[in-house]
Structure 1
Amino acid sequence: MAKLSRHERRERRHKRIRKKIFGTPERPRLCVYKSLNAFYAQIIDDTVGRTLVSASSIDRDFVQLTGKRGGKSIQDVQKVAELLVKKALEKGIKKVVFDRGGFLYHGKIKAFADKCRELGLEF
């Protein structure tokens, strides 16, 4: 059996997680994705397949807040969390289900989740 690449291992973890996690109107799914150059997060209602709120490190709001495009640092990820939580609370979303997207729960993913909890999201 051939050794799986890092990307293939992440995709397997993501599929395994998504079997169990489903966003409802009461508790939508908070999905995160990180690339080498940017960080993306969105809150999704899986019953209708609609994105309710989104934020990323390449959004216009993020660029205005930080003065740069693309967030590679943990501080940038925390700024994305602030933008996302602000938008979510404006829409009345307080409880979510966290989908880490197959990424290991440490570093940027953990910093993002901790900041969201600190700012008022429950998961």
Structure 2
Amino acid sequence: MASRKEAITRRASRVRRQLKKVANGRPRLSVHRSSKNIYAQVIDDVAGRTLAAASTLDASLRGDLKTGADRAAAEAVGKLVAERAVKAGVSEVVFDRGSFIFHGRVKALADGAREGGLTF
């Protein structure tokens, strides 16, 4: 039986492998969530660089948020990363949920990114 860490890595790899098939050169909006914070990056896999990033640790969000670990914080991070991505010239992405279920904070971040102007 695989350990928890191996299972998480395998699940994230499976999601990423499927995204590469449908990406068609679009950047990927990658999400990571911890127990206290949530992070998002828009990554250009062809060039191998990050185009935009945001998290609940950003100074522009910290004062406005009650906590970094709720749906409201995730939605704010989604809007902020979308705003920064649009400023960088990105409007279409593929959503990379990693090893996380598309539910709760991950879904709230996706909804916030859509409201901010990203399409996926």
Tell me the TM-score range normalised by the shorter chain: 0.7 to 0.9
Question: Gapped runs of 5+ residues in structure 2?
Answer: none
User: How far off its partner does 1:48 sit?
Assistant: 1.5
Separation of aligned partners in 2, 1:62 and 1:114? 17
Amino acid across the alignment from 1:86? E
Give the superposition deviation at 1:21. 1.9
Output one character per residue of 1:23-44: Cα deviation in whole Å (capped at 9) or x when no partner: 66x5100000001111000000
Aligned to 1:20: 18
Cα gap change, 1:32/1:67 in structure 2, threshold over 3 Å: closer, same or farther? closer
For the pair 1:50 / 2:55, whether they are aligned, the reply is: no
The whole-number CA distance in structure 1 between the counterparts of 2:102 and 2:12 is 12
1:54-104 per-residue CA deviation (whole Å, 9 max, x = no partner) reads 00011122224x166x61010011111111111111122110011001101
The aligned length equals 118
Distance 1:115 1:8 in 2: 30
The aligned residue for residue 98 of structure 2 is: 101
What is the TM-score when the length of structure 1 is the normalising length?
0.85
In structure 2, the residue matched to 1:34 is 33
- 1:110 maps to 107
SS of the aligned residue for 2:91 comes to coil
**Structure 1 stretches of 5 or more lacking a match?**
none
Identity of aligned residues (%): 41
How far apart are the structure 2 equivalents of 1:88 and 1:112? 14
